Amino acid sequence: MSHIKVKRGLDIPMEGAPESGLQSKRHVQPLDIPKVIGFTFSSFRDVKFRVFVKPGDTVLIGQPLAEDKDVAHRMFVSPAAGVVKEVRRGEKRVLEAITIEVASTEEYVERDPLDIQKISRENLIQELLQGGLFASIYSRPFNRLANPQHPPRSIFVKAVESAPFVPPAEMQVEGREQEFETGLLALKKLTQGPVHLVFRAESSCKAFTEAKGVEKHTIEGPHPAGNVSLHIHAIDPILKLDDIVWTVTTLDVISIGSFILHGKIAIDRVIALAGTGVRQEMRGYYRARFGHSIEALVHGKMDPKEPQRIISGNVLTGDTAKLDDFLGVSHTTCTLIPDTTSRQFLSFFRLGKDKYTASGTYLSGHMNPKDHKWSFTTSQHGEERSFIDGSVYEPVMPMKVLTLELVRACMAEDYELADQYGLLEVDPEDFALPEFVCPSKIEMMNIVRDAQRQYAKDVLG
């Protein structure tokens, strides 16, 4: 067992943590099943879909809604049973979501359990493709959906969370230890290389600490300790295009295990409802459905004093959501923060007693205790400007990556140079903290995301 110690990073001291409400950290409150559930496709940016359903069709849980045109039989399956309400499309008819009015009694597509000991790798792949499980297995470099025709040299299981307000991985696996164990066995069959399980050093979860057939690794330190790129960088670095590594989350492993043991996908998860925009007594952990309605999730829980920004996901990498949207397929957090664009008069001339500073610029960085929590809003307190100093990113970038140089190479569309600076090793989420502390307000995540998409298109087609 190896150990990773993250020394550079930042746990953003935000007010509104889920455990700050009446619920204790380990108490999970069940939510009523929403009237409408949605499968959002916004995270599958590079997939071309063949849609199988139309409004008015009746579907079962696990029934295919769409297929990947480029990977035969890769299905995206329904998280609910009921009647298709809408096939939502955006610009250029890009598929955004499929919404389902939930039936009073839900039924699953009937599938037989699988014998993980006897099934061949080829048959397992076909079953996982048809069952919608290959819609949650990703491949590096470029963090695209994994192609089963390109086997990985290793698989990484992310069993640690460090982003703001995201529920601990241990909460997802509690009560589902058997499914998690079976999911790991399935992953082991998908690769001839090792399966790396990475979890918190202080974790007491036996599903992690006593996992069999995998290489276990512990990690400690601040965010981005939970980022998969950091795990791969420390354990099995990606140096060239054909260094294929697959990644899955704890929830994905549980869903694979549930599919194998019971013939059913897992349709619920523990989520955190947090942020200062949530009434304090309502902040906490909830058991919600895959694709849970945002409106049903926040109804009666929002602070009515001022407009709120609803974020599906964490505040660093999540997506802005509206009331008629749905929780993202990979999101386990719904965060609400005050939505304000107002500027403080003569802000540059103030001492900043009540402002958070990551660099110690304001007086608040020297007056307040280290555990002081701050209320953040959507205001950026300035507009985008030229890069000022690349050294400001080093304290929050634990990977051996030259942040400023890499982002500049991406902006210049010099992908060969960006490759030399580590473009193959990173993911846009790795630049969330540099973007947060950036005095120039540069949207680094978008820059890296666009560069990787174009580079992947050039070299992979």
**Which CATH number belongs to the domain containing residue 121 in this structure?**
3.40.50
Specify the pLDDT at position 350.
53
347 lies in a domain? no
Separation CA 196–CA 153 (nearest Å): 11
Burial class (CB in 10 A: 0-12, 13-18, 19+), 363: middle
81 lies in a domain? no
Separation CA 458–CA 461 (nearest Å): 6
368 lies in a domain? no
Are 339 and 309 in contact, with CB atoms under 8 Å apart? yes
Specify the pLDDT at position 387.
82
Q: Which of 17-26, 245-254, 272-281 has the highest mean pLDDT?
A: 245-254
Phi, psi of 35 (to 5 degrees): -70, -30
Specify the pLDDT at position 372.
75
Average pLDDT value over all residues in the chain: 91
3-state helix, strand, coil in the chain (%, to 5): 30, 25, 50
Residue 154 has pLDDT above 80, yes or no: yes
Q: Which amino acid is at 15?
A: E
Residue 349 has pLDDT above 70, yes or no: no
Averaged pLDDT for residues 281-301: 95
- Helix 250-262 and helix 177-190: axis angle, to 10°? 90
Count how many domains the chain has. 2
23 lies in a domain? no
Averaged pLDDT for residues 280-299: 95
Instruction: Classify 56 in phi/psi space as left (phi over 0), alpha (psi -120 to 50) or beta.
Output: left
221 lies in a domain? yes
**Structure confidence by residue, pLDDT tens digits, 252-266:** 999 999 999 999 999
Q: Which residues contact 350 (CB under 8 A, 6 or more apart)?
A: 344
Q: Taking the CB of residue 235, how many other CB atoms lie within 10 A of it?
A: 17
Which of 243, 263, 283 is at the close of a domain? 263
Averaged pLDDT for residues 44-53: 94
Specify the pLDDT at position 10.
95
Q: Taking the CB of residue 263, how many other CB atoms lie within 10 A of it?
A: 17
Residue bearing the bigger pLDDT, 433 or 375: 433
Averaged pLDDT for residues 304-316: 91
Are 447 and 406 in contact, with CB atoms under 8 Å apart? no
Specify the pLDDT at position 259.
97
Specify the pLDDT at position 351.
52
Q: Per the structure block, which two tokens stand in for 433?
A: 């903290």
The verdict on 256 and 117 lying in the same domain is yes
| Domain around 432 | 381-460
Averaged pLDDT for residues 154-180: 97
Lowest mean pLDDT among 78-87, 109-118, 300-309, 337-346: 337-346
Which of 228, 244, 263 is at the close of a domain? 263
Q: Per the structure block, which two tokens stand in for 338?
A: 């005050």
Specify the pLDDT at position 383.
73
Specify the pLDDT at position 323.
95
53 lies in a domain? no
99 lies in a domain? no
Residue bearing the bigger pLDDT, 384 or 461: 384
Q: What distance separates the 2 farthest-apart alpha carbons in the chain?
A: 70
Specify the pLDDT at position 362.
55
Specify the pLDDT at position 144.
95
196 lies in a domain? yes
Averaged pLDDT for residues 120-126: 97
**Structure confidence by residue, pLDDT tens digits, 183-200:** 999 999 999 999 999 999
Which of 263, 288, 309 is at the close of a domain? 263
Residue 23 has pLDDT above 50, yes or no: no
* Predicted TM-score of the model (pTM): 0.93
